[in-house]
Amino acid sequence: MADVMVVEPSGAEQRLPQVVEEAAAPREVPRVTVRTPQIHWHGKSPVFAIDFHPHFGPLCATGGLEPDGTGGVHLWIVNDSTGESAEKAPVSFVQDLQGHEKAVNCLRFCPKGDLLASAGVEGCVVIWRRTHVAPSPAAALAGHEKWEYMTMLRAQTLDVVDLSWSPSCTQLATASVDNTAAVFNIAPNKDKVAASIRGHDHFALGVAWDPKEEYILTVSSDGSCRFHTSKSGRWKADARAAHIACKMEFPNKKSIKPPGAAEGEAKVSKEFKMFLDDSMAGGALTPTPALRQARCRAPVDSSARLRLRYLL
């Protein structure tokens, strides 16, 4: 007969059931009220773009069509939906920015927050300048938040579908369905068009700067993501594609060595397309560089993203 040893539980073991019991106790879930308001942002016309101000959180801009067929950019204040103000309208109109003759596809506030860029079907970019800064949402609704037309930039012949500010706010990059990307200088004493980036075989649908302004990423419906660089750092005629990512090599089942396989046996792998081309319906193609410049993310389709390492 085997010996049976009885071990008295220690203090920690004695407390364990109580800890488990406390952890398993249900927690009170805060009540959440959800409303789905109907907002006629642009008079029942389509809205194609929205962006929030980087430093004044309640302020947002929308871009799209106007009822008369022209393009429109509207500024709004998102109201506080808690407490006594829960019954208020979710947004309040601030200002209408007029300057586009056709639909607006994209818009972005610059990182500093004093400029707004909008672009669309007509192939040009309009820069708006902040002239009066409201200290609060209430002041903005009282008319103390003002933006005005600054300049128009043009380098592409067809629709501009994406744009990206450089981190220093001195340059702006755009992507167009004429298969090109363009870099503009914002400073008034420089040439407006700094560089025209070519190389894609189909629509350029996304563009982004890396945080150190050393690379510009573009993605296209030709199934590729291009990493562009400028030797001088000024993004002029020396802009070139330093790397093109379009396929990736993946091992298949045959590449897995069975037990006892020879060391010198060759691995079998297959190349797969990394991105969708124009034959597949997908969502927006906007790449997102990581903050430390070690990785970037580029879209695969409307519901997935693929991480890429810089291969430069």
Nearest to 285 by CA among 216, 201, 213, 218: 218
Could you tell me the pLDDT band of residue 269, with boundaries at 50, 70 and 90? Answer: low
Determine contact, residues 299/274, Cβ cutoff 8 Å.
no
Name the residue type at position 208: A
Which pLDDT does position 95 carry in this prediction?
93
Residue 182 — φ and ψ, nearest 5°?
-130, 150
Give yes or no for a contact between 74 and 95, defined as CB atoms under 8 angstroms apart.
yes
Instruction: State residue 271's pLDDT score.
Output: 67
Q: What is the pTM of this model?
A: 0.73
- Give me the domains of the chain, ranges plus CATH numbers: 39-244+279-309 (2.130.10.10)
Residue indicated by tokens 């993004």: 235
Residues 59-91 have pLDDT tens digits of 999 999 998 888 899 999 988 766 555 566 788
Give tens-digit pLDDT for 141-187: 999 999 999 999 999 889 999 999 999 999 999 999 998 999 999 98
The candidate with the shortest Cα–Cα distance to 176, out of 123, 212, 131, 130, is 123
Q: Torsion over CA of 101, 107, 110 and 116, rounded to 10 degrees?
A: 30
pLDDT value of position 153: 93
Q: Average pLDDT of 290-294? A: 41
Sheet harboring 193-197: ordered strands across?
A: 160-165, 171-176, 181-185, 193-197
Tokens 């009885």, residue located? 6
| CB burial of residue 102 (10 Å; 0-12, 13-18, 19+) | middle
pLDDT digits (tens, 9 = 90+) for 221-245: 888 888 888 888 778 877 887 777 7
Q: Supply the pLDDT for residue 170.
A: 92
Q: How confident is the model at residue 268, as a pLDDT?
A: 55
**Closest residue by Cα to residue 114 from 79, 153, 150:** 150
The angle subtended at Cα 299 by Cα 104 and Cα 156, nearest 5°, is 40
Q: Which residues pair with 6 in a beta bridge?
A: none
Residue 69 phi/psi, 5-degree rounding, is 95, -10
Pairing of strands 193-197, 204-209: unpaired
* Residue 291 pLDDT > 60: no
